[in-house]
């Protein structure tokens, strides 16, 4: 094991300057492009533009240099101590016992320079507590072994270095086809729209000068369309959307390949290890006992293929530095049996297929129907004014439309109602929810932090309420059991927040009714989980 | 484990439909807020209403001078904005009654909401830290706000406004203490 003199201060690898400069440039690239355009538009010569560029580069370079020079760290007495800062000197001590995650990553540039990036995370806070921008492999191994020596449960948990054989059991591995499908079924449409908008806002004159012929042709085509021709307008609209969709689709596939290339989920000694990425290969691990909740999701589009995405929530921020949500993707895209095997590994007792599902109050179906019907009917009903119907025709149109739309709304509402369900089994709460998409949550009762009962004005008239439960960390969606009878909701509420109390308060219910007998089993400490949030 | 080995589950009879009316425990009601808080809330809202009013008056004058055609729109629009604000000044008189706090054997239960009702439960074991805060107006009336924090992501904090300040301090100390005691249950 590499060792150095204990307690001495170390600097980062000099490659940090290059990596830091690239990162700063990445942030400033937009300003750089704008500046270049501005100066060339103002008639600045090549030499002037170059001078501008030089000064422009000097600023981030100086920052990267100063940051490198000011950064020191040492490993001493069970803690990592870091000093950094150019104007404001910061000193930070991170006790090893508080460390939740260590993530090692290597961007393409870092790989070329033979350095690694290491992030150290504790619970709380939105970003990593310590970020070593560039370390030689030797120094990274030194930090990892220091942490392992002082934190036994992280023993043998360091991400594997290249060349070591994988002795872990592989739980899930993405094939090329999976990756392409994962990209193809995610739409980055919003991103494209925003990008096009920004592009147009900033470079309108350039765009118009570069693409006059093409744009002209499109304008002429649009003008030639009969202004009152519905089909012509529709064709243009559909074609426009289709081309945007195609571009966004290709970009989604490209992003998925970048992110999920070689995605492998492995397990070893109570830990989940994930490795993925094309250029920047990220390896991280999640302690199984620290998992607070599992969240599965599938979109309307993916459901046809039977694909699901599964995420975990931990108390720290996401182990994967690219995620902003505090959740870690365990399987970006898997079929049902994959997902079940991951679930079985994480919590062997959480058996999805053995859950006795309870439906929510049928009022949920009527509510969904009313919302769908009235929104759709008013939008479609107003369209009758466009067609220029006579009064009789309009009434007939409304009647037919109402009948048809009511049928369709009822069908959608019934399908939605059927997929909303919850169950309590072996100390876990299972929730299925969603409208066209499907969300599912598996939450160990022992990890529940708080619970909230909610009742809207309409729910009160029907005597139903919703139960929201919350675990540590920062998830994207709140787990909620909607529309259950208020007395039962109150009983369930008391039950889930007190897994270790036996004298739980129930309302109007014989013990054993409506899944409470299942909850009964969670009075013992559930398997594989601990009461603490960490 | 068989059913018989479980201690008695406590039962509560409640036949109503409203969430807010379920008592936290059999034969116990929620503790209500300090009545002074109504006045504080009304004054606070009145204060912000005055600012809104002045803002709208300035806006109205500007529109009247720069675009006289729009004057009636600005006039009626301003009143349309102000009327709900006037009504909302007195909303605390209603909403006050719906606030309630209860300390049970191992958790803190808070309820609030007039049209949208909420009941939230924070088990003592989950408390991370507890704060009390009081603004100048609140200090003048001797009330304080209590905020209880957990590690939760979406419902991580609950604040209870308008407790008598000595009670808020007692509750804060009590909750921090039981939070410590229950922490590793």
Collapsing DSSP to helix, strand or coil, A81 comes out as strand
Collapsing DSSP to helix, strand or coil, A365 comes out as helix
Lowest pLDDT segment from A183-197, A420-434, A517-531 = A517-531
Going from the C-alpha of B117 to that of each of A217, A258, A435, B111, B120, the distances in angstroms are: 59, 46, 24, 7, 10
Between CA A284 and CA A158 the distance in angstroms is: 8
Name the helix (H) or strand (E) containing A494.
helix A486-497
**pLDDT tens for chain B, residues 1 to 185:** 344 444 456 788 888 889 989 999 888 899 999 999 999 999 999 998 999 899 999 999 999 888 888 888 888 988 898 888 888 889 999 999 999 999 988 889 999 999 999 999 999 888 888 888 888 888 999 999 999 988 877 788 889 999 998 999 999 989 888 877 775 44
Tokens representing B20 are 């807010």
Q: Do the beta carbons of residue A119 and residue A132 sit within 8 Å?
A: yes
Q: Which of A426, A172, A502, A212 is nearest to A310 (CA)?
A: A172
Angle between helical axes of A230-260 and A189-210 (0-180°, round to 10): 110
Does B173 or A212 have the greater pLDDT score? Answer: B173
Chain A closest-CA separation from residue B146 CA (Å): 17
At residue A489, the pLDDT reads 92
Question: First and final CA of chain A: distance in angstroms?
Answer: 30
Q: Is the pLDDT of residue A523 over 60?
A: no
At residue A521, the pLDDT reads 42
Interface of B with A in 97-156 (CB under 8 A): 105-107, 113, 115-123, 125-126, 150-156
At residue A127, the pLDDT reads 60
Average model confidence (pLDDT) across chain A: 78
Q: Which of A267, A273, A261, A276 is nearest to A159 (CA)?
A: A273
At residue A165, the pLDDT reads 43
Residue with tokens 């990425």: A277
The predicted model gives A242-248 an average pLDDT of 81
Chain A closest-CA separation from residue B137 CA (Å): 30
Q: Is the pLDDT of residue A313 over 50?
A: yes
Q: Tell me the sheet residues that pair with A469.
A: A451, A479
Selected residue of A449, A461, A522 to mutate for chain B interface (largest B Cβ count, 10 A): A449
Q: Which of A449, A504, A531 sits opposite B151 (nearest CB)?
A: A449
The predicted model gives A19-33 an average pLDDT of 77
Chain B contact present for A500, CB below 8 A: yes
Chain A residues close to B1, C-beta within 8 Å:
521, 524
Between CA A460 and CA B116 the distance in angstroms is: 9
Torsion of CA B71, B72, B73, B78, to 10 degrees: 90
At residue A522, the pLDDT reads 41
Q: Which of B12, B18, B113 sits opposite A505 (nearest CB)?
A: B12
Q: Which of A139, A138, A135 is nearest to A113 (CA)?
A: A135
Tokens representing A526 are 């559930």
Between CA A377 and CA A371 the distance in angstroms is: 10
Between CA B10 and CA A498 the distance in angstroms is: 13
Q: Looking at residue A519, what DSSP letter applies?
A: H
The predicted model gives A148-167 an average pLDDT of 55
Q: Do the beta carbons of residue A6 and residue A75 sit within 8 Å?
A: yes
**Sign of the torsion angle spanned by Cα atoms A208, A210, A211, A212:** positive
Q: Which of A188, A149, A441 is nearest to A292 (CA)?
A: A441
Lowest pLDDT segment from A52-61, A461-470, B24-33, B171-180 = A52-61
Q: Strand runs (DSSP E) across chain B, as ranges? A: 10-12, 100-103, 107-112, 117-123, 127-133, 143-150, 157-164
- The CA angle A40-A46-A49, to the nearest 5 degrees, is 60
The predicted model gives A202-215 an average pLDDT of 65
At residue A144, the pLDDT reads 83
Q: Which pLDDT band, with edges at 50, 70 and 90, does A301 fall under?
A: confident
Does A215 or A8 have the greater pLDDT score? Answer: A8
Q: Is the pLDDT of residue A362 over 80?
A: yes
CB contact under 8 A, B107 and A497: yes
Q: Is the pLDDT of residue A44 over 70?
A: no
The predicted model gives A4-18 an average pLDDT of 80
Q: Is the pLDDT of residue A253 over 90?
A: no
Q: Tell me the sheet residues that pair with A202.
A: none
* Residue A442: exposure state from Cβ atoms within 10 A (0-12, 13-18, ≥19): buried
Name the helix (H) or strand (E) containing A39.
helix A15-41
Q: Looking at residue A350, what DSSP letter applies?
A: -
Between CA A8 and CA A12 the distance in angstroms is: 13
Chain A contact present for B171, CB below 8 A: no
Name the helix (H) or strand (E) containing A136.
strand A130-136
Name the helix (H) or strand (E) containing B178.
helix B165-182
Q: Do the beta carbons of residue A159 and residue A284 sit within 8 Å?
A: yes
At residue A319, the pLDDT reads 52
Chain B contact present for A530, CB below 8 A: no
Chain A closest-CA separation from residue B155 CA (Å): 6
Pairing, β A72-76 against β A79-84: antiparallel
A401: phi > 0 → left, psi -120 to 50 → alpha, else beta; which? Answer: alpha
Does A406 or A500 have the greater pLDDT score? Answer: A406
At residue B2, the pLDDT reads 42
Q: Is the pLDDT of residue A64 over 90?
A: no
The predicted model gives A403-408 an average pLDDT of 94
Chains A–B, number of C-beta pairs less than 8 Å apart: 153
Q: Which pLDDT band, with edges at 50, 70 and 90, does A3 fall under?
A: very low
Does A205 or A182 have the greater pLDDT score? Answer: A182
Other beta carbons within 10 angstroms of residue A4's beta carbon come to 12
Report pLDDT digits (tens) over A481-506. Answer: 999 999 999 999 988 888 777 777 88
Report pLDDT digits (tens) over A110-157. Answer: 888 888 888 887 765 556 677 888 888 888 888 888 887 877 665 544
At residue A94, the pLDDT reads 79
Q: Which pLDDT band, with edges at 50, 70 and 90, does A227 fall under?
A: low
Q: Is the pLDDT of residue A286 over 70?
A: yes
At residue B3, the pLDDT reads 44
Going from the C-alpha of A119 to that of each of A81, A96, A100, A102, A271, the distances in angstroms are: 14, 13, 11, 6, 18
At residue A197, the pLDDT reads 65
Instruction: Express as a percent the part of chain A with pLDDT over 70.
Output: 76
CB neighbours of A360 closer than 8 A, spacing ≥ 6? Answer: A417, A420, A421, A422, A464, A481, A482, A483, A484
- Complete DSSP assignment for A310-329: EEEEESSS-SSTT-SSSEEE
Q: Which of B91, B88, B89, B99 is nearest to B34 (CA)?
A: B99
Interface of A with B in 102-141 (CB under 8 A): 123-124
Here the contacts of A74-83 (C-beta below 8 Å, separation 24 or greater) are: A74/A7, A74/A8, A74/A9, A74/A10, A75/A6, A75/A7, A75/A142, A75/A143, A75/A146, A76/A6, A76/A7, A77/A7, A78/A150, A80/A120, A80/A130, A80/A143, A80/A146, A80/A147, A82/A130, A83/A9
Confirm whether the ipTM is greater than 0.85: yes
Name the helix (H) or strand (E) containing A59.
helix A46-70
């Amino acid at each position: 094991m590499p060792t150095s003199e204990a307690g001495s201060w170390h600097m980062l690898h000099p490659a940090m300057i290059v990596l830091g400069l690239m990162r700063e440039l990445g942030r400033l690239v937009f300003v750089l492009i704008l500046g270049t355009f501005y100066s060339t538009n103002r008639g600045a010569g090549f030499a002037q533009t170059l001078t501008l560029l030089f000064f422009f580069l000097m600023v981030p370079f100086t920052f990267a240099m100063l940051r490198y020079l000011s950064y020191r760290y040492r490993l001493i007495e069970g803690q990592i101590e870091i000093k950094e800062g150019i104007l404001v000197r910061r000193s930070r001590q991170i006790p090893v016992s508080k460390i939740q995650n260590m993530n090692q990553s290597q961007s393409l540039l870092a790989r070329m320079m033979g350095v690694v990036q290491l992030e150290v995370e504790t619970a709380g806070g939105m970003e990593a507590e310590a970020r070593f921008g560039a370390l030689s492999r030797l120094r990274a191994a030194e930090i990892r072994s220091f942490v392992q020596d002082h934190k036994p449960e992280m023993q043998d948990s360091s991400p594997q270095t290249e060349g070591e054989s994988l002795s872990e059991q592989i739980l899930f591995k993405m094939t090329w086809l999976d990756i392409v499908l994962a990209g193809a079924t995610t739409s980055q449409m919003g991103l494209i729209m925003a990008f096009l908008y920004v592009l147009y806002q900033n470079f309108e004159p350039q765009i118009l000068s570069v693409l006059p012929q093409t744009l002209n042709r499109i304008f002429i085509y649009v003008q030639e369309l009969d202004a009152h021709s519905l089909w012509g307008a529709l064709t243009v609209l559909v074609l426009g959307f289709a081309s945007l969709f195609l571009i966004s689709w290709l970009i989604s596939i490209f992003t998925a390949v970048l992110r999920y290339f070689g995605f492998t989920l492995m397990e070893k000694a109570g830990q989940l290890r994930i490795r993925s990425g094309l250029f920047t290969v990220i390896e991280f691990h999640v302690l199984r006992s620290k998992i607070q909740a599992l969240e599965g999701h599938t979109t309307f589009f993916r459901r046809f293929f039977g694909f699901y995405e599964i995420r975990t929530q931990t108390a720290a921020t996401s182990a994967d530095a690219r995620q902003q949500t505090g959740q870690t993707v365990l399987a970006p895209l898997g079929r049902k049996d994959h997902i079940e095997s991951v679930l079985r590994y994480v919590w062997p007792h959480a058996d999805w297929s053995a859950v006795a599902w309870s439906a929510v109050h049928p009022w949920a179906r009527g509510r969904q129907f009313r919302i769908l019907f009235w929104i759709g009917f008013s939008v479609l009903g107003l369209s009758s004014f466009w067609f220029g119907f006579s009064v009789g025709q309009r009434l007939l149109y409304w009647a037919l439309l109402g009948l048809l739309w009511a049928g369709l709304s009822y069908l959608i509402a019934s399908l939605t109602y059927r997929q909303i369900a919850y169950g309590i089994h072996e100390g876990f709460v299972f929730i299925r929810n969603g409208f066209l998409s499907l969300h599912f949550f598996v939450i160990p009762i022992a990890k529940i932090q708080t619970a909230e009962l909610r009742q809207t004005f309409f729910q009160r008239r029907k005597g139903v309420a919703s139960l929201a439960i919350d675990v540590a960390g920062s998830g994207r969606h709140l787990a909620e059991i909607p529309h259950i009878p208020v007395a039962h909701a109150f009983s369930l509420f008391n039950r889930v927040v007190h897994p270790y109390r036996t004298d739980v308060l129930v309302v109007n219910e014989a013990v054993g009714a409506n899944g409470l007998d299942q909850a009964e089993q969670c009075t013992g400490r559930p398997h594989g989980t601990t009461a603490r949030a960490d | 484990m068989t059913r018989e080995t479980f201690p008695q589950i406590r039962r509560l009879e409640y036949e109503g439909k409203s969430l807010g009316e379920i008592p936290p425990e059999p034969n116990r009601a929620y503790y209500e807020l300090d009545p002074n808080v109504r006045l504080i809330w009304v004054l606070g809202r009145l204060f912000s209403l005055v600012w809104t009013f002045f803002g709208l008056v300035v806006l109205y004058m500007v529109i009247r001078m720069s675009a006289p055609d729009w004057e009636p729109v600005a006039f009626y629009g301003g009143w349309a904005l102000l009327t709900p604000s006037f009504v909302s000044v007195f909303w605390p008189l209603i909403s006050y009654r719906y606030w309630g706090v209860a300390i049970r054997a191992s958790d803190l239960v808070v309820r609030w909401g007039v049209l949208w009702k909420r009941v939230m439960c924070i088990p003592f074991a989950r408390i991370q830290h507890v704060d009390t805060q009081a603004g100048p107006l609140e200090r003048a009336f001797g009330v304080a706000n209590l905020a209880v924090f957990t590690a939760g992501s979406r419902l991580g904090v609950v604040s209870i406004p308008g407790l008598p300040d000595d009670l808020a301090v007692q509750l804060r100390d009590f909750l921090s203490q039981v939070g410590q005691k229950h922490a590793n249950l």
